[in-house]
Homo-oligomer: A and B are copies of this chain.
Amino acid sequence: MQEQVNIMVTLDSAYLPPLKVMLTSLRQNNLSLNIKVWLIHTNIPEKQLVELEQFLQQLKMSLTSIKIPADLFKDAPTVERYPKEMYYRLVCGDILPKEVNRVIYLDPDILVINSLEPLWQLDLADNVFAAAVHSGLTNISEGINNIRLGIDHGYYNSGVLLIDVEKARQLIHLNDIYQTIDQHGKWLLLPDQDVMNYLYGKVTKEIPEEIWNYDTRQAATYMTRSLGKANTHWVAENTVVLHYCGKPKPWDSNSNNRFTLLYAHYQQLTKRIARQITE
């Protein structure tokens, strides 16, 4: 039996359709991986969880869903302003069972188009996270974020994370997160991502964004930075995670760029797999 690869997702009912598309692409391009999905949520109805589990059986993945008690974040200072699901990935050490010591967190607006194994096998050294920096052509957002947050590293995107859950248990505490939000709340634009960068950026290992967190809005930037090397064929061969950041989302009917068709094709594969359940 191959080693179990833990995939963590944290979302609500609205994101179950893209989650299925993401997992279909993950399976299609990682046929031999032994994948377990950890779904952390607050209020997905039981019926939808059963349906998701049946879908994952078709993909030969196992599912454990963990419902967070509504009062776990009752002391969070900004519960009104931002959904608390945002913080689940940071405090996953407190949520996942003790036997889970490594996990890959993935946003649902993602396609996995090549092997995830090199990320799973990555040596984190003393770091808690591995993440990519969305640096753009000029790194101007890094500069602004460095001033805004007082950090001296790239501004990490929290949509794709390798997490040493064991180290997270020791290092990451809800109270630190609450304190940061209390003190710096007015400066936080993307609260979970800001908190991660501010508190834990120093224990994050940078991984190349073109491979592990390719922002589909930035295709021209990647082409320019690579002096023309990172064209469409390079992406198909080398990129592992296509991250459909921003709006429109790739499932919106007005999404119509060079990344839409691949997403729509995986939506179609997903529908076919779902149909097999009822047949």
Q: Is A237 an interface residue (CB 8 A)?
A: yes
Interface residues in A256-278 (C-beta closer than 8 Å to B): 256-262, 264-265, 267-268
* Most chain B CB within a 10 A radius of its CB, from A231, A251, A265: A265
Are B258 and A231 in contact, CB atoms less than 8 angstroms apart? no
Are A236 and B113 in contact, CB atoms less than 8 angstroms apart? no
Main secondary structure on A side of the interface with B? helix
Q: Which residues of the other chain, B, contact A251 by a CB distance below 8 angstroms?
A: 233
A270 CB, min distance to chain B CBs, angstroms: 11
A260 to B237, CA, bound (A): 13
Which of B113, B253, B257 is the one whose CB lies under 8 Å from A233?
B253
Q: A258-B257, A262-B262 are in contact. Are A267 and B231 (CB under 8 A)?
A: no
Q: Which residues of the other chain, B, contact A259 by a CB distance below 8 angstroms?
A: 261
Which of B233, B237, B264 is the one whose CB lies under 8 Å from A232?
B264
Q: Is A193 an interface residue (CB 8 A)?
A: no
Q: Is A106 an interface residue (CB 8 A)?
A: no
Q: Which residues of the other chain, B, contact A258 by a CB distance below 8 angstroms?
A: 256-258, 260-261
Q: Which residues of the other chain, B, contact A237 by a CB distance below 8 angstroms?
A: 264, 268
Interface residues in A224-241 (C-beta closer than 8 Å to B): 231-233, 235-237
Bits for A188-214, please: 1 = Cβ < 8 Å to B, else 0.
000000000000000000000000000
A82 CB, min distance to chain B CBs, angstroms: 31
Which of B231, B253, B265, B267 is the one whose CB lies under 8 Å from A262?
B265
A216 CB, min distance to chain B CBs, angstroms: 10
Which of B232, B236, B255, B261 is the one whose CB lies under 8 Å from A235?
B261
Are B268 and A113 in contact, CB atoms less than 8 angstroms apart? yes
Are B268 and A114 in contact, CB atoms less than 8 angstroms apart? yes
Are A236 and B264 in contact, CB atoms less than 8 angstroms apart? yes
Given A235-B261, A236-B261, A258-B258, 16 extra CB contacts under 8 A: A232-B255, A232-B260, A233-B251, A233-B253, A233-B255, A233-B260, A233-B264, A233-B267, A236-B264, A236-B267, A236-B268, A257-B258, A258-B260, A261-B261, A261-B262, A262-B265
What are 10 A-B pairs at a CB distance below 8 A? A113-B265, A114-B268, A231-B253, A232-B256, A233-B264, A235-B261, A236-B267, A261-B261, A262-B262, A262-B265
